Structure 1
């Protein structure tokens, strides 16, 4: 484990004021960049599973496979872009390139005439996500003051997730206005994607690389990966098991459809989930700068278990809404914290590689999770999908307990 992750440090009483005032403008800008791209992406992705199943006639297993492979493609790309950002010592260029690629592929969705085109557009879009992901997260860690790192990751995640509920909400309204015209909604989704690219080019300034920071020639060599440390690899292991529990949100949309929610209203589940997620991520990030992060993470995993149980047995809209809200709350409790733990455990000169490897491993786990979820749904029903998720979440909690004391920091590194 790195020296940063080993040292327990206290936070002064003034941290609350600093948290509100001290987060750099670059973090805010990156948050709004993510928000705009998420508005675009979620307007499309909120409708895509239903479009594939209800309009094109694909199976839920196929949806799980497509979603999982698409996300795994992004994860594989992240490991190389993250390592490249460490080798170059530059991160903004790669982040902007990834956002640009995603924006330029958005018009493929309304132009697609068959499932093959939709799948191709989904994969290219995810490649753009892969290129930007690890360099952007490493850039957040580079810009953020160490004592505000949890708050900074929480803020970026919160703004990102605001886009994730505005997107489906716009999709619902536009589907109603256009009488379920998918292509028109997909065209409108192109606009915020290009605004996102313009914002990162203009508003985000990359900090200068410290002169005493070690240069990395081959970030993916075995000896360099060994420098990441045991603490880093344990976080990756726990996150991998956790990812097996939180399969694609496409299954939340299909769960809504299973209880008879009208086609145009199925994206409301993503609105509920993302609203709760966005409202909780930033406060939890602030809290994590003051107290034990692993305890918060364990509580977040417990929320996922509860969400899965509710969704497995819900029989009406109230149960569905509760389960989806709990799912969003567990995301707010966990996603920013995992990024913060990775940033803390990895050496500064290898942060891009650390985030890239982390996303590769968890991306492969997401592929497995989505395929397992789809197969169980087709074979034994929706209850099997959600109960298996609860089981994996319990395993992740068991993996965190042995190393809880190692990460008992309220961090200032």
Structure 2
């Protein structure tokens, strides 16, 4: 293992399970353990503080937007300086303070400020982390490595949401207060986030020693001009989908809406527990399918698997717009998990395949920045539609995914296989 960590791209092996892949997986495991303690309770917390569906959609969209917009700058800095480990460490350190502040908030306006701050850390670390991960394995096995990364990410999410449920069960009878128990879960999640920083100190980044003078002097505009045309085509596809792929917070709050519609007398404990249990189910499916979808993308092509993911999202949105049954909604969250497994890591691997070796950070950052802009408007539109008629929000997402699917196959996006990166 030590050999893998010191030399993550050994010329003598094509194995994808390198030291960096493992360490970055552990980092994501602990980060998502913390983050997904927060995710299923955050929309409930905002609602308990008086926030409407529009507020929930806007906070979710704004948080994602800040994270994604910052990535273009962190990616550029990573490409220019090669100091990816330092950016990753800062990005995983910031969320502790923001999450602690959210847990201590007494008004949704405070969450409106602190949630984007928490996502700022995600924005700083995302592009350099994905760039380092891509450099740690061969071209042929990137899908599998990114799939493993997503699996570790969602495994942490399962443990985190289970921990949130355990805290709810243990302390609800003691506190007997919805707002109090939600605050406790959020504060504990902040301290858990510190564990994500430890594995970063053991990462190896040979790129730090290989930055040329030309790259050090290059501007962000120079880097953007150097991105290939096929990548810009993929940007159009991803940005379009970003408008329809609105925040998961609205999906979660919908579980409570459907539950109360089916059983208006459901206890406060059940109203809190059902969204968390549903979120655990979502992450179980997400985790189980992440590596298979990654491997299938290596075998059958990124575009085809990404298209399958879009189809799953269309099915999910159609189901959410039609059902009033909590059990069916629970099952649909499993399909939603499959959609995420088929698109999240695959989308990044697809983008990396289209990028030059020395511009991966900038390219990934630009991709996620544009998706961030789209998510602000997508979250607002979906939030307003949800307040007017909840089914309209999900129909909106499904229609955008359908249009994206047509555009994806209407564009000729070809991947040129690079020279063996081990040479």
Query: What is the TM-score of this pair, normalised by structure 1?
Result: 0.89
SS at match of 1:32: helix
Look up the match of 2:10. none
- The one of 34, 40, 48 equivalent to 2:34 is 40
Matched, 1:280 2:280: no
Equivalent of 1:160 in 153, 162, 167:
153
Query: Following TM superposition, by how much is the alpha carbon of 1:221 offset from its aligned partner in structure 2, in angstroms?
Result: 3.9
Distance (whole Å) between structure 2 residues aligned to residue 275 and residue 300 of structure 1 = 17
Could you tell me which residue of structure 2 aligns to residue 27 of structure 1? Answer: 21
- Distance of 1:152 and 1:42 partners within structure 2: 22
Aligned to 1:233: 232
1:402 positional shift: 2.4
How far off is 1:294 after superposition? 1.0
Which residue of the partner structure matches residue 126 of structure 2?
133
> Structure 2: which 5+ runs fail to align?
1-12, 173-177, 261-269
Q: Secondary structure at the match of 1:127?
A: helix
C-alpha distance in structure 2 between counterparts of 1:198 and 1:108, whole Å: 22
Q: Does 1:144 align with 2:144?
A: no
1:188 CA displacement: 2.0
DSSP-derived class of the 2:17 partner: coil
Pick the aligned partner of 2:105 from 112, 121, 129: 112
CA-to-aligned-CA distance 1:298-349 (integer Å, 9 cap, x gap) = 1111111111111111121221022211111111111111101111111111
Which residue of structure 1 aligns with residue 271 of structure 2?
263
Q: Contact 1:79–1:353 (CA<8 Å) still a contact in 2?
A: yes
Question: How many pairs were matched up?
Answer: 392
Task: Give 2:89's aligned residue.
Answer: 96
Q: Structure 1 segments of 4 or more deviating over 3 A?
A: 208-215, 217-223, 407-413
Q: 2:44 aligns with which of 26, 43, 50?
A: 50
Following superposition, the deviation at residue 223 of structure 1 comes to 3.8
Gaps of 5+ in 1: 1-17
Matched, 1:348 2:341: no
RMSD: 2.2
Contact kept in structure 2, 1:293 and 1:409, CA below 8 Å: no
Q: 1:332 aligns with which of 330, 336, 341?
A: 341
1:12: which partner in 2? none
C-alpha distance in 1, partners of 2:418/2:99? 41
- Equivalent position of 1:289 in the other structure: 298
Q: In 2, distance between residues paired with 1:123 and 1:233?
A: 27
Segment of structure 1 superposing worse, 220-229 or 324-333: 220-229
